[in-house]
Amino acid sequence: MKTKPKIILPTEVEDTQINAGITADPDNPEWSTGDFQQAMPAKQFFDAKTYENLVALKRKPGERGPQKTAVKERITIRLSPEVVSRFRATGPGWQTRVDDALVDWLSAHSPDELKI
């Protein structure tokens, strides 16, 4: 059973130093009650197109952003136990190494050679 991480609260001295830093930051002052009362949802503040673009940028927790390279396709494939065990024995990233091995094979061969 996993245990929750222990939260270590700052000491009184550390808390005072943190609050002093917040107070001294002219670019990002701590919000007052009045600031909170004047705040409005982004949907009301931005024009419709800007808001739509902002929403499109938002990702859910664990969701990946745009890929820098071509995205791999998720498939189900059956491989012999000896192939799987040999690649798994190489540690994390073994599925990428299977893909690399297949790409390497395709650079010198054609799938047509294997017609059954």
Is residue 18 one of the residues assigned to a domain?
A: yes
Residue 19 sits in the same domain as residue 52: yes
Q: The whole model's pTM is what? A: 0.43
Is residue 2 one of the residues assigned to a domain?
A: no
- Sign for the pseudo-dihedral over CA of 44, 45, 46, 51: negative
Q: Using the structure block, give the residue that is written with the tokens 């790409």.
A: 103
Closest CA to 43 of 61, 58, 60, 55: 55
d(CA 53, CA 46): 10
Is residue 64 one of the residues assigned to a domain?
A: no
Q: What is the pLDDT of residue 55?
A: 87
Is residue 21 one of the residues assigned to a domain?
A: yes
Q: What is the pLDDT of residue 93?
A: 93
Is residue 72 one of the residues assigned to a domain?
A: no
Is residue 40 one of the residues assigned to a domain?
A: yes
Q: Give the range of the structural domain holding residue 41, as residue numbers without chain letter.
A: 13-57
Q: Could you list the mean pLDDT of each consecutive 10-residue stretch along the chain, which spans 116 residues? A: 83 95 89 93 94 85 77 90 96 94 92 80
Residue 51 sits in the same domain as residue 85: no
Q: How many domains does the chain have?
A: 2
